Amino acid sequence: MRKKLVLAVTVVSILLLSAAVAVQLVNREETKPPSNLPLITMPEEYLNYTITTINGSLWAKIDGTYPLHVLYWQGALPLVYPTPPGTTNISLKMDETELDWSNFTEIYPEAVHYTALGNWPMINCTINAVPEYFTLKIHYEHPVTLINGSHTFLYDLNISPYLSEWSTKSTAYFTIRIETNYTSLQVNAIATEETLTPINYTTTADGMAKTVAFQIVSEYSKPLLGDILVTFTTANTQPL
C-alpha cells in the first residue's frame, strides 16, 4: 500500500511538492473558505528533463516550473519537496527570488516520501510573504537508476489536492531531452497499486540528441493515472 508520510511542524500544514505539489489544509479559528475549497491551484506545470552522461554515468537534470494561484492562506508558507536518492545541485526560486532550503529528512528521519522506486528524502523551505500569484521554480539533478537492465527514473505526480469544483483540470507538460543513444524507451504512469498505464509520446531529433514530449491531464472526480515512470536501454546497459 503506497503511503505518503509528511511530518507537520507545530500547527502549520506543509505543502508537499511532489515535484508536482500537494496541499494539506490548516485548521484555523478565523474565517476560512468552505472545507472543499483548495488553498492553492495549479492549472498547469512544466517538467523539463535532460538526460546526459557525467563521468561515465547517466544523470537526470530537472527544471520544474509550477505557476500557482493562492486562493486562501495566512502567514508564512512552509514547503517540503521529495527528491530522488543522490540528488544534488538543488535550487528553489519563487519567481526570480532564490529560496533558502534545508534537508528535512536529516532533521526528521521518519519524514520520507514513498514512491515505486523506494523511499525518497525531502527538503524544505519557507515562503514568508505569499503573493496571490507566483511561479515556483525547482532545479535538481540525480543519477539515473539501473533496474533489471533498464535505466529508470520517476517523476512523482501528486496533483489531487489541486483539483476541485473550482479548479477541475491540471495539465503536466513533459519534455525529456536524451543526450545518449538509447533503445526501447517506455513511458508509463504507475498508479497507487503499482499497475502500469502506457503513455503516448512524440520524439524529435536535434543533432545527436532526441527529445521526448508528452502531456498528462488530470481531472477532478476522475481516476488519476499516478506517477510517471520512464525506462530505456543503451548500448552499454548491463543487467544487474
Domain hosting 86: range is 15-25+40-233
Residue 9: inside a domain: no
CATH (domain of 153): 2.60.40
Task: Tell me what the mean pLDDT of segment 210-227 comes to.
Answer: 94
What CA–CA distances, in Å, run from 32 to 35, 38, 71, 79, 110? 8, 11, 11, 21, 31
Task: Summarize pLDDT for 150-187 with one digit per residue, the tens.
Answer: 999 999 987 887 787 878 999 999 999 999 999 999 99
Residue 213: inside a domain: yes
Q: Are 157 and 19 in contact (CB under 8 A)?
A: yes
C-alpha cell at 9: 511542524
Residue 108: inside a domain: yes
Residue 175: inside a domain: yes
pLDDT exceeds 80 at position 1: no
Residue 10: inside a domain: no
- Running DSSP on this structure, what letter comes out for residue 162? G
Residue 172: inside a domain: yes
The count of domains in the chain is: 1
Distance CA 131, CA 15 (A): 15
Higher pLDDT, 102 or 36: 102
Q: Give the chain's radius of gyration (CA, Å).
A: 18
C-alpha cell at 196: 502500469
* pLDDT of the residue at 27: 33
Residue 1: inside a domain: no
Least confident of 29-43, 109-123, 148-162, 216-230: 29-43
Residue 69: inside a domain: yes
Contacts of 154 (CB under 8 A, 6+ apart): 84, 115, 116, 117, 190, 227, 228, 229, 230
Task: Summarize pLDDT for 67-107 with one digit per residue, the tens.
Answer: 999 888 878 888 888 999 999 999 999 999 999 999 999 99
pLDDT exceeds 50 at position 148: yes
Q: Are 186 and 230 in contact (CB under 8 A)?
A: yes
Helix ranges (H only) for 80-214 are 104-107
- Running DSSP on this structure, what letter comes out for residue 37? S
